[in-house]
Amino acid sequence: MGQREKQAAGEPHVGIIFTGLKVKKSIERCVKLLRQRPTWVEDFKGKEFHVQPWPEVVVDGQLDTHFPYIKEHLE
């Protein structure tokens, strides 16, 4: 995705610094990625252990907050 496309998507940036990083959108992207991971782990002998399901994530407060930041550092 080029710089113009990112700006059109509401994510203006200068290099790796997003000048208008939308915190809610970034959190939602991280939650989506985590939910794609399995809720089980495998030990070194190949035995599966089920772990707790992923918790609900609630984003509350100033939902339109955005500020300059390096997205990868926040995520």
How many structural domains does the chain have?
Answer: 1
Domain hosting 27: range is 3-74
Q: How confident is the model at residue 9 (pLDDT cuts 50, 70, 90)?
A: low
Backbone angles phi, psi at 59, to 5 degrees: -100, 120
Alpha-carbon distance 32 to 58, whole Å? 13
> The sheet that has 66-70: what strands, in order across it?
13-14, 17-22, 66-70
pLDDT for residue 73 is more than 60: yes
Which amino acid is residue 35, in one-letter code?
A: R
**pLDDT > 70: percent of the chain:** 85
Structure confidence at residue 47 as a pLDDT band (50, 70, 90): confident
The number of beta carbons lying within 10 Å of the beta carbon of residue 70 is 13
